[in-house]
Amino acid sequence: MIELLGLEVEAGGFRVGPVGLRAGDGRYVVLLGPSGAGKSLVLEAAAGVRGAAAGRIRLAGADVTGLTPERRRVGLVFQDGLLFPHLTVAANIAYGMRAAGRDGVAAGGAAPRSRGHRLSARVREEKVRRLAATVGVTALLDRRPATLSGGERQRVALARALAAGPRALLLDEPLSAVDPEAREELQEVLRRICGERRLPVLHVTHDRDEAFALADECVVLIGGRVHQAGKPLEVLRRPADAAVARFLGARNVLPARRDPADPRLAVLDAGGALPTASPLPAEAVVVVVRPEDLRLAPAGDPAAATAATVTRLTLQGGHVLVGLAAPAPLDALVPAGELDAAGITVGQKVTVSVRPEHVHVLPAG
């Protein structure tokens, strides 16, 4: 288990925190936020390579706040792997054992041997092969880092971190330099290692899709402050504030007020109105609608609530982001096949609807 208890970190006048989170054994926690939010500073403090300005850090129940990195026994993987270019893959992995000061741990993940104990060459080689198989680089053991792809280098870096017998894994943007196909494969490897080895994982990223694919819990850090923490789907569907909603791709984040004649109708400041599932407060609010929750229909459809004009079409994988003037600007995310079948083009008139339960209401400001 790794716990951050009111952790605060300071660098160059920028202060992060307090950050509180807990990753139990076999649990995967993602610290998610935009670039410059302070995520890496938090990870560095957890690893011991940066001092904490306030708060505590606990590993496996012990307070390690004042300990050096080597005494914390955490596995740390950076976005570029930081492999030794002159060493083979096998030697890079084996270095993890030597860096731990104990030539690794006993087979099966038993407690570390005393400092200075050295494994036999045969046992050390067998451990390297076992770790290589765990991350899928057995065929690469005799190669050097310069001949590897980005995904392969990250697999080797992960094996090297595991070779030290860590009590927790700390990952700093480990997939950011990896191509999409390799990224998906590495996500599966990371989840499997977390579960099979019962390791707590703290993973830093700015990538929303990556976070939601991996996390048991997401902690959203924006501008050095934790804005929200919870299960990925809760954070995605029920953002705590407008900053979280925008960062998580809600796109339709609109100032509004209650309709005097209907307390369940949000009148948008930019024009138009949206239905809500519950009565709105008397004060000004912000309504949030995710683009995938908007439904488009041919112009004049009586089942749809609002007339709109298509202003742009942007292909995003198997979906199309549809810009709308309705009269407030809106974005809808529609499956590409559905849009093609409807024959929707830029300049076309459509009608837009949304279910009231998909309109999320937040306090203004």
pLDDT range class, residue 119, cuts 50, 70, 90: low
Q: How many residues does the chain have?
A: 365
Per-residue pLDDT reduced to its tens digit, 185-219? 999 999 999 999 999 999 999 999 999 999 999 99
CA pair distance 1, 76, nearest whole angstrom: 15
Domain with CATH 3.40.50.300 in the chain: 2-237
CA pair distance 162, 100, nearest whole angstrom: 10
Q: What percent of the chain has pLDDT over 90?
A: 72
Nearest CA to 330 among 250, 261, 275, 216? Answer: 250
Which three-class secondary structure state does DSSP give residue 187? helix
Per-residue pLDDT reduced to its tens digit, 261-295? 999 999 999 888 899 999 999 899 999 999 999 99
Q: Are the C-beta atoms of residues 344 and 296 closer than 8 Å to each other?
A: yes
Which three-class secondary structure state does DSSP give residue 112? strand
Rg (CA), the chain: 25
Q: Are the C-beta atoms of residues 247 and 327 closer than 8 Å to each other?
A: no
CA pair distance 102, 124, nearest whole angstrom: 11
Q: Are the C-beta atoms of residues 206 and 32 closer than 8 Å to each other?
A: yes
For residue 281, what are the contacts with CB-CB under 8 A and spacing of at least 6? 258, 363
pTM over 0.85: yes
CB neighbours of residue 328 within 10 Å: 19
What's the mean pLDDT in 10-31? Answer: 95
56 pairs with which residues across the strands? 5
Residue 141, both tokens: 């053991």
CATH assignment of 2-237? 3.40.50.300
Q: Are the C-beta atoms of residues 180 and 173 closer than 8 Å to each other?
A: no
pLDDT range class, residue 101, cuts 50, 70, 90: low
pLDDT range class, residue 124, cuts 50, 70, 90: confident
For residue 353, what are the contacts with CB-CB under 8 A and spacing of at least 6? 294, 295, 297, 303, 304, 305, 306
Q: Are the C-beta atoms of residues 360 and 253 closer than 8 Å to each other?
A: no
CATH level 3 topology of 250-363: OB fold (Dihydrolipoamide Acetyltransferase, E2P) (2.40.50)
Domain with CATH 2.40.50.140 in the chain: 250-363
CA pair distance 29, 229, nearest whole angstrom: 10
